[in-house]
């Protein structure tokens, strides 16, 4: 398995600008080819500048569906909500016209919500793969909400998993208080036409390189499941 090339930018600002151009070009290509496009977006903090640039990028946003890659089990407006983060950074300006598919519901727990959200994401995809997925990486080797040795991780990484699964992460410095989550699964991201892992700083570069060192030990660094997935189109972009 050839590890995806790590493409380096000079600094985070250049990384965000270059990725905004690339994501916009991929979305325009999907719109031209199929009349619609699906963009899957991660939360966290790294992609904020990228999302703000995309928000004012000229394209037919009303034919773009934005799907959350994962969500902490907090309501919109509460601290840590990825839905709120995406609304405040990406779904502004021109991109406010996109269709948004979130993952947080009124259910008490992600396990209760997973089947309904899997159906909602399947409806949004309408049988087609995600066109572009913007992913992060934690220093622990998680992407999406695929946290090391988490409850639900094996099911989320199964080759025949539904599109959305519930995760209960083991507490760590990376998870913070947000242990209960919903996440897109390996099939959802493996089949994406383009997945971009966006990382900055030395710690995450070391995590990415450690992930490549031993692609088989998936539970230890679950991003490995995507990096090693046959047919996945993954590239990793890094800035100091």
Give 32's contacts (C-beta < 8 A, 6+ positions apart).
none
Among the listed residues 45, 112, 213, 214, the single contact to ligand 6PG using CB under 6 A: 45
CB of 136 to ligand 6PG, least distance (A): 2
Residues 62-81 that bind ligand 6PG (CB under 6 A): 69-70, 72
In the complex with ligand 6PG, the residue whose CB is nearer, 70 or 180, is: 70
In the complex with ligand 6PG, the residue whose CB is nearer, 5 or 177, is: 177
Give 53's contacts (C-beta < 8 A, 6+ positions apart).
16, 17, 20
Which of 98, 80, 119 has its CA nearest to residue 23?
98
Interaction between residue 37 and ligand 6PG (CB under 6 A): no
Q: How far is CA 175 from CA 21, 37, 207, 214, 227, in A?
A: 31, 31, 16, 23, 22
Interaction between residue 136 and ligand 6PG (CB under 6 A): yes
Interaction between residue 140 and ligand 6PG (CB under 6 A): no
In the complex with ligand 6PG, the residue whose CB is nearer, 36 or 142, is: 142
Interaction between residue 44 and ligand 6PG (CB under 6 A): yes
Interaction between residue 143 and ligand 6PG (CB under 6 A): yes
Interaction between residue 43 and ligand 6PG (CB under 6 A): yes
| Alpha carbon distance 199, 213 (integer Å) | 18
Helices 48-55 and 82-89, interaxial angle, to 10°?
40
| Alpha carbon distance 154, 205 (integer Å) | 25
Would you tell me which residues interact with ligand 6PG (CB under 6 A)?
Answer: 42-46, 69-70, 72, 82, 136, 138, 143-145
């Amino acid at each position: 398995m050839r590890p995806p090339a790590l493409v380096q930018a000079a600094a985070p600002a250049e990384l965000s600008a270059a990725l905004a151009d690339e994501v916009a070009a991929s979305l325009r290509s999907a719109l031209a080819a199929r009349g619609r496009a699906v963009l899957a977006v991660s939360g966290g903090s790294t992609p904020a500048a990228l999302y703000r640039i995309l928000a004012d990028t000229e394209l037919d946003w009303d034919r773009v569906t934005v799907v959350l890659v994962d969500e902490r089990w907090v309501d919109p407006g509460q601290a840590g909500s990825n839905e709120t983060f995406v609304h405040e950074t990406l779904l502004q300006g021109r991109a406010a016209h996109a269709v948004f598919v979130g993952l947080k519901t009124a259910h008490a727990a992600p396990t209760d919500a997973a089947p309904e959200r899997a159906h909602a994401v399947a409806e949004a995809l309408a049988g087609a793969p995600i066109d572009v997925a913007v992913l992060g990486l934690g220093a622990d080797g998680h992407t999406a909400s695929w946290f090391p040795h988490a409850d639900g991780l094996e099911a989320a990484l199964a080759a025949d998993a539904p599109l959305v699964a519930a995760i209960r992460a083991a507490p760590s410095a990376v998870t913070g208080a947000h242990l209960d989550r919903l996440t897109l699964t390996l099939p959802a991201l493996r089949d994406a036409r383009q997945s971009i892992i966006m990382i900055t700083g030395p710690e995450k570069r070391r995590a990415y390189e450690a992930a490549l060192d031993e692609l088989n030990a998936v539970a230890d660094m679950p991003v490995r499941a995507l990096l090693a997935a046959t047919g996945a189109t993954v590239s990793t972009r890094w800035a100091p």
